[in-house]
Amino acid sequence: MKLYIVTGEKSGDLQASILVEKLHVVNNNIKIRAFGGEHLKKTGVEISSEINRTSVMGLTNVLMQINTIRKKINFCKTDILKFNPNAIILVDYPAFNLRIARFAKENGIQVFYYIAPKVWAWNKSRLSKIKKYIDSLLVIFPFEVDFFKKHNINTIYVGNPLVSHINKFKSNKLYISKKNIIAVLPGSRKQEISKILPIMLSVSSSFKKYQFVIAGISDFGNDFYESFINCDNIKVRYDSTYSLLSESKFALVTSGTATLEVSLFNIPQIVCYKTDWITYLFARLFVKIKFISLVNIIFNKYIVPELIQSQLNTPNLMKHVKQLVNGHYNRDYQNIQQIFETNQSTDPAKYILDKINQSFD
């Protein structure tokens, strides 16, 4: 059996790697090729293209790199045909992957979409494409099931891979007492790091009792992160975010999957987000949800502070960090794991392989 996986960002690469490990447990004779990164590579998957060349942030950057993205899509289509998989698994990254879904469907390849496009937040026009080109939609948030089923889309809740992945990490670690560390998670793309990290670090000199530790990505190089360091209580730790979180008391986090990861480590956090103004104004017009943090979206209420665009400035961040270190924060975030565990889920690997085997009958 042959499977082709398409990811587009670091978080999707991680979640796809967890899925691959489960697939190999069910059937260790599967051959897998992928658009992926370091996490998929570690599972032994054959990588056709590195995702750090496809991941871009913001409307203006997408427009600037539209030709590069188009070439990647065309390369992906050609590579899929050469590999001739029994099925394709698309992981998040909808602007890219919905085009691949259409191509795969038109070529008679079974299509699974793992980690659904967030059409409940914006761009509901994608619903028609999902319904037309996706055979099975595998979702990782319980509330997504009802949303998609209302639109007559075959939807399966498969649990959130990060929950089991972080539980496994914590079970393999000796108990580490929380140190005076504020973890700084500035994102996984250079564009967002360059906008957000300087503001995150601008408060460090006012909290000398704390060590600010940046969760760095070694691919970007030491010089990149060192250019932002302006105080002696700032350090960088590369490619070890979970180890960093296991030791940290608080966190400053760029909006995205990391907000959920931090909450699963039971760490109070401040969510930060800033992009170019064209992208931000575009988002204000089309995004139809009240929050940007996954924690707040899942609970559907304001639990962790969100400092967005002009709100993300040094005085405002200073005020919120003071509240954090003084113990003034909502502790409801500690119940987030229960939300995933109290909803019955289907094993995604077994579901995918059963569906493929049924197509052989």
Q: What is the pLDDT along the chain (361 residues), one digit of tens a residue?
A: 999 999 998 889 999 999 999 999 999 999 999 999 999 999 999 999 988 645 555 445 555 567 778 899 999 999 999 999 999 999 999 989 999 999 999 999 999 999 999 999 888 889 999 999 999 999 999 999 999 999 999 899 999 999 989 999 988 876 666 789 999 999 988 889 999 999 999 999 999 999 999 999 998 999 999 999 989 999 999 999 999 999 999 999 999 899 999 999 999 999 999 988 877 776 676 667 789 999 999 999 999 999 999 999 999 999 999 999 999 999 998 999 989 988 889 999 999 999 999 987 6
Residues 63 and 210 in one domain: no
CA distance 302 to 270: 12
CB 317, CB 203: distance < 8 Å:
yes
pLDDT at 82: 97
308 forms beta bridges with 273
Q: Is the dihedral of CA 34, 36, 40, 44 positive or negative?
A: positive
Token pair, residue 23, equals 């697939």
Residues 25 and 137 in one domain: yes
* pTM recorded for the entire structure: 0.85
Count: domains in the chain:
2
Backbone dihedral angles phi then psi of residue 346, each to the nearest 5 degrees: -105, 140
Token pair, residue 128, equals 């028609």
Residues 265 and 201 in one domain: yes
Residues 152 and 176 in one domain: no
Using DSSP, state whether 228 is helix, strand or coil.
Answer: coil
136 forms beta bridges with 112
Residues 180 and 85 in one domain: no
Token pair, residue 139, equals 């979702």
Residues 153 and 17 in one domain: yes
DSSP string, 79-134: HHHHH--SEEEEES-HHHHHHHHHHHHHTT-EEEEES---TTTS-TTHHHHHHHH-
Using DSSP, state whether 299 is helix, strand or coil.
Answer: helix
Residues 196 and 133 in one domain: no
DSSP summary character for residue 349: H
Single-letter residue type at 290: K
CB 171, CB 177: distance < 8 Å:
no
Residues 114 and 243 in one domain: no
Exposed/middle/buried for residue 140 (C-beta within 10 Å: 0-12, 13-18, 19+): buried
CA distance 165 to 153: 28
Residues 311 and 243 in one domain: yes
CATH code, domain carrying 355: 3.40.50.2000
Residues 147 and 70 in one domain: yes
251 forms beta bridges with 183, 269
Residues 10 and 154 in one domain: yes
Range of the domain at 317: 167-339
CA distance 180 to 196: 22
pLDDT at 176: 66
| Count of other CB atoms within 10 angstroms of residue 318 | 14
Residues 356 and 260 in one domain: no
Q: Is the dihedral of CA 47, 49, 50, 52 positive or negative?
A: negative
